[in-house]
Structure 1
Amino acid sequence: MNRARTAHLTAWLQASPLAAVFALFFVLPLGLVLMVSFWQASEYELIPAFTGQNYLDVFTGCPVTPDGDLCVTFKTYLSTLKFSVLTWLITALLGFSIAYFLAFHIEGTLTQTVLFIVCTVPFWTSNVIRMISWVPLLGRNGLVNQTLQGMGLIDTPIEWLLFSDFSVVLAFVHLYTMFMIVPIFNSMMRIDRNLLEAARDNGASPWQTVWHVVLPLSRTGLIIGSIFVVALVMGDFVTVGVMGGQQIASVGKIIQVQTSYLQFPIAAANAVILLAVVLLMIVALMRLVNLRKEL
């Protein structure tokens, strides 16, 4: 009995440093944001007096304005969800394809490692630098438009290549595909190669093997990568601002603008609502697979 109690106490002591860091850098900041979301504010100061008006202000005119249009909050969330879904679809396809190539078509651990490191090369520079690098390529007088005009394929520059939904999604895919590749590749490397041989011996085509064997066994990595991508896109405001030319709205961008004007209570309320939406999306994704059991 004493031995079991000692082991239990030892386990708690071993977990306490990580728990303290988690509480200090995650739970406490979230608690402060939640607290400020219920404060009042004047033009010059924050007033620590409880009010729910900030949440009411976020949903002013919702769901539909008197003109028959969706309210600003709903439009902004739909725009952000659109970017999240498009980015998730593209990164999932790219991530699965690249991970499959590395895991099953590259022989030798050294070669796999080298190619995997090559995939991480873009992460050696700042996200902002990686985004700005698209401007001379996609701009009105950028390399893409000049090349297409020089080849006679277009007469006038293509306007939607930059500062548009296209450029925002392109930047998101560029920034976050690696977050999809890593967990999928990790899941694929755990797959028993004998299962692939068994599928081929039973007459399965390569596509049938991928669909019925590789994809189900890679589901854990796909869900983990999806959680990373969805969470990152939903809260991003820098990419939307830079690649959207400050013309495209997102929830993160609204929070950033509100904080720049020192509207901290309503910005905190928006942050809490965004956190709730993202958590609901993550819970929905986690219901597709038991991560605790799989990992």
Structure 2
Amino acid sequence: MSAPATSGHAATMPTHTVKAWWQAAPFALVFLLFFLIPLALIAMVSLWNFNEYELIPAVTLRNYFSIFEGCSHLTDNGDFCVTLSTYISTLKFCVLVWGITLLLGFSVAYFLAFHVRTPGMQTILFVLCTVPFWTSNVIRMISWVPLLGRNGLVNDVLMTLGFADKPVEWLLFSDFSVVLAFVHLYTMFMIVPIFNSMMRIDRSLLEAASDSGASGWQTLWNVIVPLSRTGILIGSIFVITIVMGDFVTIGVMGGQQIASVGKIIQVQTSYLQFPLAAANAVILLAVVLMIIWGLTRLVDIRKEL
């Protein structure tokens, strides 16, 4: 009696397998069309040659060599080459924005998850956090100009209160304004995954820590932070990948005076230097993937989810 049952079960396996493939096919097709094929095209164009008039479909590493030209030694002023200086500047913004958004995002998520008791109030406050996303990023950036400019509200208040004798120049079109705009735009990408992780924490663990004599900070550091690391990792990936490739925010808030890798790619594209822009994009993608790989070594995100 057991043998026919075994053979019948084996006969149904291919059917289940086929159904699984059909279910995954639409997602695989979208992934192929909108991710793999564009990446392959960018990598292919990065190996093409070009001149002032046309693209030449010929395999060459000229674009990569030209990007790192002069990077084997320091300049006469003791500085790095343009490419390394640009990547260092981009990484600087990335680290600063990541640290600030992590601190703010964790604090807001902690307040919503553990200090707001009713789900209704949690929903209301969470929706309020998303209100800025109802407008364009550019509009939100431009709104800082009348506040931070030489004749802006902040400078007027500082001079009125006697904290400054003249307008503070570094408030706008500076590294400060770029970081401020990034934090304003992308903190929500850190709040959402951390809040989601915190809401999944078993509250009995917090009670057990309290009963064991742990202080609030000890409970936070030894219980909440480790159990929220999946959300921290996901939020970090969101913020890092967006900031590394952003060129609009740096262009607007930096007054077109601050370089970034995304800005260089945008300029090269505007001058129709597509192979050079594609090579820069491939290098930027490799750097971002290495950062993400390093983060995923700290947390096995598939196991945590």
Q: Which residue is 2:57 aligned to? A: 48
* Distance in 2 separating the partners of 1:177 and 1:111: 20
2:37 counterpart of 1:28:
yes
- Amino acid aligned to 1:3: T
Q: Is residue 39–residue 265 contact of structure 1 (8 Å, CA) maintained in 2? A: yes
| Offset from partner CA, 1:1-52 (integer Å, 9 cap, x none) | 2211111111111000011011111111111111100001110111111111
1:66 deviation in Å? 4.5
Q: Which amino acid aligns with 1:215?
A: V
**Partner Cα separation in structure 2 for residue 144 and residue 284 of structure 1:** 40
Residue aligning to 1:159: 169
Q: Is the 8 A contact 1:63 1:74 kept in 2?
A: no
Work out the CA distance in 1 between the residues paired with 2:280 and 2:75.
Answer: 23
Matched positions, count: 295
Who is 2:215 aligned against?
205
Question: Structure 1: which amino acid aligns with 2:126?
Answer: F
1:83 — aligned with what?
A: 93
Classify 1:205/1:259 alpha carbon distance in 2 versus 1 (closer, same or farther; 3 Å).
same
Structure 2 CA distance for aligned equivalents of residues 90 and 279 of structure 1: 22
1:176 aligned residue (174, 177, 186):
186
Equivalent residues in 2 for 1:142-291 (5 A)? 142-291=152-301
**Identical counterparts, % of pairs:** 72
Give RMSD over aligned pairs: 0.7
Alignment TM-score, normalising by the size of structure 1 = 0.99
Uncovered stretches (5+) of structure 2, i.e. residues with no partner? 1-9
Query: Which has the higher mean CA deviation after the structures are superposed, 151-160 or 269-278?
Result: 151-160
Contact 2:75 2:81 in 1 (8 A): no
Contact 2:181 2:249 in 1 (8 A): yes
- TM-score calculated relative to the size of structure 2: 0.96
The gaps in structure 1 that reach 5 residues or longer are none
**Structure 1: distance between partners of 2:72 and 2:154:** 41
Other-structure match for 2:6: none
